[in-house]
Amino acid sequence: MFMSLEVKKIIFPAAGLGTRFLPLSKAVPKEFLPLADAPMISYVVEEAKQAGVDEMIFVVNESNKNVVDYFKRDEKLEELLEQRGAKEILENLQKIYKGLENITVSSVTQPLPKGDGDAILRAEKRVDKSAVAVAFFDDVFIAKTPPLVQLLNIFRTSQKTVVGLKRTAPEKLPFYGVVKTEKIANNLYKIKDIVEKPLLNQAPSDLALCSRYILTEDIFRYLKKTQPNAKGEIILAEALKLMLADGKMIYGYEIEGEWLECGNTQDWLKTNLVLCLRHPKYGAALKEWIKKIK
């Protein structure tokens, strides 16, 4: 009897050194850099909540283990704000915890930054032989249906690995994994090959992997078989290539919605500006203020 697998756990790799953001990231971990009035990491956590997960696993480095603490209630601070009558500030604070009441939030350590594949491997025991979602916090999406939900809709039908895709400008393709595909339906593709950070004239398409994945449990076996690259890193895309070589089916879904990148300082500044100007409370005032700047 066929039993449909549900995805109830998500891995957030958050152990990178943030070198592209130095010296800023020396003082503030990359995942806590602001986007409008919230830290970067809160956007993908909100997306995961909407996807219905019941456990969030953060992969962190040795020097930054306070990610999980951010999502814990601070009852003393709440009590102080209530005593001071700071109702609006209290409500903003409590937004952090809303929707997390029945979700387990935990962390595992990645001692050295040895690639996104190594980060995912660190969470293997927490996943416990089940399909798992993976999302990276430095990509933000503005979409009617959250990207993880879009991918889960494909997974529930196929029960196969599903990767998120977005069309990318040619000059940015060398920074991403780029896929060779066979179109199956609207926005849905069969992945035939993945080229990691291709030269401009070697990109097989303009569809790039965009940091949202639903991975079947066999990903861990393939990650263990993946050879480290020249930097000593285990790369998720290379493990997916091994799966393809073994005849495993991998689907790609072109995510509907706007993709806002935060992988380097310039992209983060652009995304921050966009979200600030669109903010329901501050956006209008900021737009008026910008008109006055000479």
pLDDT of residue 100: 85
pLDDT of residue 58: 93
pLDDT of residue 5: 67
Has residue 4 been placed in a domain?
A: no
Has residue 98 been placed in a domain?
A: yes
pLDDT of residue 65: 65
pLDDT of residue 201: 83
Has residue 280 been placed in a domain?
A: yes
Structure tokens given for 132: 């798992």
Q: Which CATH number fits the domain that encloses residue 65? A: 3.90.550.10
pLDDT of residue 2: 40
Has residue 185 been placed in a domain?
A: yes
pLDDT of residue 159: 93
**What total of structural domains would you count in the chain?**
1
pLDDT of residue 3: 44
Domain that holds residue 154: 9-292
Has residue 1 been placed in a domain?
A: no
pLDDT of residue 218: 93
Has residue 27 been placed in a domain?
A: yes
Has residue 37 been placed in a domain?
A: yes
Per-residue confidence in pLDDT tens, the chain, 294 aa = 344 568 999 999 987 777 888 888 788 888 889 999 999 999 999 999 999 999 999 998 877 767 888 888 888 998 898 888 888 888 888 888 888 888 999 899 888 889 999 999 999 998 988 899 999 999 999 999 999 999 999 999 999 999 999 999 988 998 899 999 999 999 999 999 999 888 888 889 999 999 999 999 999 999 999 999 988 999 999 999 999 999 999 999 999 999 999 989 999 999 999 999 999 999 999 999 998 886
Has residue 2 been placed in a domain?
A: no
pLDDT of residue 293: 85
